[in-house]
């Protein structure tokens, strides 16, 4: 008998079973391990008995199978759970199927030491051998069966093992999922922990604040209690005051009622006064107009300018001009002329002219304006007013109308003075319920064409005089600037613009300013909203072109045309004025641009005033005479007083 250490390969002599101790069944791979171990240790050299056994037995197993054979499983009869059958024990067993290590005496007739046949007993020996052989065969068969069973068990075990491995893998998967989740939960719980800590901190803070607020509330309540008592005290005081006030109020109400009654009578009186004032204002207008009409709706003033410093060198005094003392309406022109009777005798030629007013050279601008200021008032009252300056070039027309400096209080001309009076008058009339709006335009007429002095607009083409509408007789100049003005200063600015524009033209057109008419117009619109009254008028101040007669034989080309157009317009102005004075049915406005433009401002109730400006120079005698004759004609047809006498 030979025993091999556990796990070693088993070589068993025939009839001997070697049982290696089995690893516990809970071990996962008992068989594999054994095989692996064997494989690791390599094929063991077979013991001599093994060799013998192999050659002596029919069953030959490959070395790898040896451990299986080493397993000894009780051949449990009948079906039982395979696992139970696996219960292997190394305890010696008896009886058939025992493959334990213990010798079985009854079955060991061969080679045993019990009984030996005598050498001669060949028959006996043979029968022993046969019996032994039969035993061995039977045993081999039994072992085969066991072997099959064991293989089956092994397969089942391997399947179970695979199942377990699969299960283990699944569980591994579950474990990793669970660990991930666990990690997530751990992080979440950490976060929650932080949040909880924050909440706790907030809670602590809120508690502190609550405490503070409670303390404050407490204080406030105390203060409130205090102020409650104060309020109660004040209420008492207020009630007593209210009582006193009620008493006073009753007194005041009585006073107010009385005052109201007084007020009513006063406002009635005021209304009456206003009515009276309005009636007086209207009466003033009527009377003012009457005075103007009595003075003549067409008036002529003569103004003789002083000798200029340079002129005084050429001419001493003004012998040819005589101003009768104590008479401010007459001017006499004197000239010595050779008598046609005899060479040595000279005759004084005397020309008397009477006008509404004659201003001597010493007359100041203020004196002159005094006489026309009533006309300016008429313009505010709603009458058209036209003031012309007529005379030869250099006679003082521009000086009279504009003055050398609009800002010089002494020397400013009629235009700035009239403008000032208009704005002052408008202010005074505002107290009587009149509101005024003003707009100004300034243009010149040269060679019968119009030019805007407040800024030409070449893109609009030539300025034309047109009817406002086909149904209306009213005229206007469509593209002429008419600038709204609200103060004297604004108008003065426009006058400066016009002066600048004119001086540009002067250099370009060789003193055409004296060859053109310049017309400043201030449109005045007044409303008395309370009484639904309106008035509108135009104040026109015209600086006419020089009236001197140029020697026609010398006038050529441009000069001739200029002269013709000036003559035409001045004579048609005279004709229009005369026709108006005589109330003729046809007024020849259309004969010149000047009269056509002024058509709306002449005639009807319009007031006209003509300055005839006279040069003090003797060399201008005949021009002065012409001017005075023209002015006389205009004057004569209205008042019939002016006349020229030639003695």
Report, in Å, the least distance between residue 514 CB and Mg ion: 5
- Tell me which residue of 450, 440, 456, 503 sits closest to 477, measured CA to CA: 450
Shortest spacing between CB 542 and Mg ion, in angstroms: 12
Closest distance to ligand ADP from the beta carbon of 391 (Å): 5
The answer to whether 406 and 451 have CB atoms below 8 angstroms apart is no
CA angle 102, 104, 110 (to 5 degrees): 120
Q: Which residue lies nearer to Mg ion by CB, 381 or 444?
A: 444
How near is the Cβ of 328 to ligand ADP at its closest, in Å?
16
For Mg ion, the nearest residue by Cβ is 398
64 binds, among Mg ion, ligand ADP, none (CB under 5 to 8 A by kind): none
In the complex, minimum distance from the CB of residue 484 to ligand ADP, in angstroms, rounded to a whole number: 29
CB of 635 to ligand ADP, least distance (A): 20
Q: How far apart are CA 93 and CA 76, in angstroms?
A: 12
For ligand ADP, which is the closer residue by CB, 97 or 391?
391
- Residues 414 and 369 sit within 8 Å (Cβ to Cβ): yes
Listed as own residue / partner, the contacts of 170-177 with beta carbons closer than 8 Å and 24 or more positions apart are none
Smallest gap, in angstroms, from Cβ of residue 540 to ligand ADP?
17
Here the tokens at position 20 are: 């290696």
239 φ, ψ (degrees, to nearest 5) = -65, -40
- From CA 14, how far away is CA 124, in angstroms rounded? 21
For residues 304, 448, 439, 507, the Cα torsion angle rounded to the nearest 10 degrees is -70
Q: Least distance from C-beta 566 to ligand ADP, angstroms?
A: 13
Helix (H, G, I), strand (E, B) or coil at 602: coil
Burial bucket for residue 147 (CB in 10 Å: 0-12, 13-18, 19+):
middle
Nearest distance from C-beta of residue 545 to Mg ion, angstroms: 9
The C-alpha atoms of residue 544 and residue 515 are separated, in whole angstroms, by 8
Window 471 to 530, contacts with ligand ADP (CB under 6 A): 514
Name the residue number minimizing CB distance to ligand ADP.
396
Q: What residue 565 binds from ligand ADP, Mg ion, none (CB within 5 to 8 A, per partner kind)?
A: none
Residue 404 interacting partner from ligand ADP, Mg ion, none (CB closer than 5 to 8 Å by kind): ligand ADP
Q: Could you tell me whether strands 435-446 and 449-452 are parallel, antiparallel, or unpaired per DSSP bridges?
A: antiparallel
Point out which span in 12-20, 392-400, 481-489, 547-555 binds Mg ion (CB under 5 A). 392-400
Cα torsion at 171, 176, 179, 185 (round to 10°)?
A: -110
Residues 613-642 that bind ligand ADP (CB under 6 A): 613
Tell the smallest beta-carbon distance from residue 456 to Mg ion (Å).
Answer: 20
**Between residues 33 and 506, which has the closer beta carbon with respect to ligand ADP?**
506
Least Å distance, CB 440 to ligand ADP, is: 21
Q: Is 540 in the site for ligand ADP (CB under 6 A)?
A: no
Task: From 365, 542, 320, 532, select the one nearest 443 (Cα to Cα).
Answer: 542
Q: Under rule CB under 5 A, how many of the chain's residues touch Mg ion?
A: 2
**Could you say which residues in the range 373-412 bind ligand ADP, by CB under 6 A?**
391, 393-399, 404
CB of 595 within 8 A of CB of 573?
yes
Residues 6+ apart with CB under 8 A from 40: none
Rounded to a whole number of angstroms, the minimum distance from the CB of residue 518 to Mg ion is 8
Of ligand ADP, Mg ion, none, which one sits near residue 615, judging by CB under 5 to 8 A according to partner kind? none
Nearer to ligand ADP, 9 or 613 (CB): 613
Nearer to ligand ADP, 250 or 366 (CB): 366
Q: Which long-range contacts (CB under 8 A, 24 or more apart) does 528-533 make?
A: 528/432, 528/433, 528/434, 528/435, 529/433, 529/435, 530/433, 531/278, 531/433
Cβ 305 to ligand ADP, closest distance in Å? 3
* 593 touches, from ligand ADP, Mg ion, none (C-beta below 5 to 8 Å by class): none
Nearer to Mg ion, 397 or 412 (CB): 397
Q: Which residue has the tokens 């426009």?
A: 494
What is d(CA 538, CA 602) in angstroms, rounded to the nearest whole number?
10
> Which residue's CB is nearer to Mg ion, number 378 or number 547?
547
Q: For ligand ADP, which is the closer residue by CB, 34 or 544?
A: 544
Of the pair 70, 368, the CB lying nearest ligand ADP is at 368
What is the chain's length? 647
The site partner of 395 among Mg ion, ligand ADP, none (C-beta below 5 to 8 Å per kind) is ligand ADP
DSSP per position, 195-212: HHHHHHHHHHHHHHHHHH
How many residues form the binding site for ligand ADP (CB under 6 A)?
14
- Looking at beta carbons only, is 299 or 397 nearer to Mg ion? 397
Q: Which of 617, 603, 621 is nearest to 538 (CA)?
A: 603
Residue with smaller CB distance to Mg ion, 132 or 545: 545
Is the Cβ of residue 11 or residue 394 nearer to Mg ion in the bound state? 394
Site for Mg ion in 23-62 (CB under 5 A): none
Closest to 484 in 3D by CA, of 457, 523, 444, 455 = 523
Q: Which two tokens stand for residue 374?
A: 């009533």
Q: Which is nearer to ligand ADP, 514 or 600 (CB)?
A: 514
| Nearer residue to ligand ADP within complex by CB, 397 or 451 | 397
> Which of ligand ADP, Mg ion, none has residue 595 at its interface (CB below 5 to 8 Å by kind)?
none
The item of Mg ion, ligand ADP, none sharing an interface with residue 613, based on CB under 5 to 8 Å by kind, is ligand ADP
Stretch near Mg ion under the rule CB under 5 A, chosen from 239-247, 396-404, 497-505, 607-615: 396-404
Helices (H) then strands (E): counts for the chain: 13, 14
Smallest CA-to-CA distance from 289 within 377, 373, 419 is with 377
Secondary structure (H, E, C), 208-222? HHHHHHHHHHHHHHH
Contact at 8 Å (CB) between 18 and 10?
yes
Q: With H, G, I as helix, E, B as strand and everything else as coil, classify residue 270.
A: helix
User: Of the candidates 398, 563, 600, 601, which one interacts with Mg ion according to CB under 5 A?
Assistant: 398
Within 277-336, which residues bind ligand ADP (CB under 6 A)? 305-306, 308
Residue 529 C-beta: closest distance to ligand ADP, Å: 42
**Nearest to ligand ADP of 14, 391 (CB atom):** 391
Report in angstroms how near the CB of residue 326 gets to ligand ADP at its nearest. 22
The pair of structure tokens assigned to 416 is 């700035």
Which residues are at the interface with ligand ADP (CB under 6 A)? 305-306, 308, 391, 393-399, 404, 514, 613
Which residues are at the interface with Mg ion (CB under 5 A)? 397-398
């Amino acid at each position: 008998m030979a025993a091999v250490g556990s796990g070693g390969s088993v070589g068993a002599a025939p009839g001997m079973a070697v049982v290696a101790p089995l690893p516990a069944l809970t071990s996962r791979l008992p068989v594999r391990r054994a095989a692996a171990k064997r494989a690791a240790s390599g094929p063991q050299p077979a013991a001599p008995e093994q060799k013998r056994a192999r050659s002596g037995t029919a069953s030959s197993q490959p070395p790898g199978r040896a451990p299986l054979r080493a397993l000894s499983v009780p051949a449990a009869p009948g079906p039982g759970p395979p696992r139970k059958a696996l219960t292997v024990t190394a305890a010696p067993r008896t009886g058939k199927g025992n493959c334990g290590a213990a010798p079985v005496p009854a079955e060991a007739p061969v080679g045993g030491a019990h009984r030996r046949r005598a050498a001669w007993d060949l028959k006996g020996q043979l029968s022993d051998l046969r019996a032994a052989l039969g035993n061995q065969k039977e045993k081999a068969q039994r072992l085969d069966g066991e072997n099959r069973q064991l293989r089956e068990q092994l397969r089942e075990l391997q399947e179970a093992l695979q199942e377990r491995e699969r299960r283990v893998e699944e569980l591994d998967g579950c474990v990793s999922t669970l660990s991930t989740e666990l990690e997530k939960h751990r992080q979440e719980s950490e976060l929650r922990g932080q949040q909880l800590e924050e909440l706790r901190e907030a809670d602590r803070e809120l508690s502190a604040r609550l405490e503070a607020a409670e303390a404050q509330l407490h204080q406030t309540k105390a203060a409130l209690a205090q102020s409650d008592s104060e309020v109660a005290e004040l209420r008492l005081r207020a009630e007593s005051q209210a009582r006193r006030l009620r008493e006073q109020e009753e007194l005041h109400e009585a006073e107010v009622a009385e005052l109201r009654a007084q007020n009513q009578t006063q406002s009635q009186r005021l209304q009456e006064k206003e009515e009276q004032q309005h009636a007086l204002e209207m009466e003033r207008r009527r009377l003012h107009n009457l005075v103007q009409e009595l003075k003549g709706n067409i008036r002529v003033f003569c103004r003789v300018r002083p000798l200029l410093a340079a002129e005084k060198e050429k001419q001493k005094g003004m012998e040819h001009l005589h101003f009768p003392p104590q008479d401010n309406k007459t001017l006499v022109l004197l000239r010595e002329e050779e008598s046609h009777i005899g060479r040595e005798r000279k005759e004084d030629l005397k020309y008397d002219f009477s006008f509404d007013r004659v201003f001597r050279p010493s007359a100041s601008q203020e004196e002159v304006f005094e006489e026309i200021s009533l006309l300016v008032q008429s313009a505010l009252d709603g009458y058209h007013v036209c003031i012309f300056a007529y005379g030869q070039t250099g006679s003082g027309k521009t000086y009279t109308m504009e003055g050398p400096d609009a800002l010089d209080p002494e020397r400013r001309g009629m235009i700035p003075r009239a403008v000032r009076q208009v704005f002052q008058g408008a202010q005074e009339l505002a107290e009587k319920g009149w509101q005024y709006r003003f707009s100004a335009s300034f243009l010149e007429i040269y060679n019968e064409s119009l030019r805007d002095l407040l800024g030409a607009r070449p893109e609009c083409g030539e300025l034309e005089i047109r009817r406002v509408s086909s149904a209306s007789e009213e005229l206007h100049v469509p593209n002429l600037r008419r600038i709204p003005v609200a103060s004297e200063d604004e108008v003065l600015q426009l006058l400066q613009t016009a002066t600048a524009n004119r001086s540009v033209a002067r250099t370009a057109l060789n003193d055409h300013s004296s060859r053109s008419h310049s017309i400043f117009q201030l449109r005045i619109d007044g409303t008395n909203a309370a009484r639904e009254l309106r008035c509108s008028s135009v104040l026109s101040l015209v600086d006419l072109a020089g009236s001197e007669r140029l020697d026609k034989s010398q006038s050529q080309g441009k000069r001739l045309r200029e002269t013709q157009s000036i003559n035409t317009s001045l004579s048609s102005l005279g004709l229009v004025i005369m026709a108006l004075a005589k109330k003729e049915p046809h007024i020849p406005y259309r004969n010149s641009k000047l009269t056509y433009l002024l058509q709306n401002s002449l005639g009807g109730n319009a007031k006209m005033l003509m300055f005839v400006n006279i040069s003090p120079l003797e060399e201008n005698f005949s021009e002065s005479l012409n001017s005075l004759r023209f002015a006389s004609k205009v004057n004569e047809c209205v008042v019939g007083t002016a006349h020229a006498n030639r003695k």
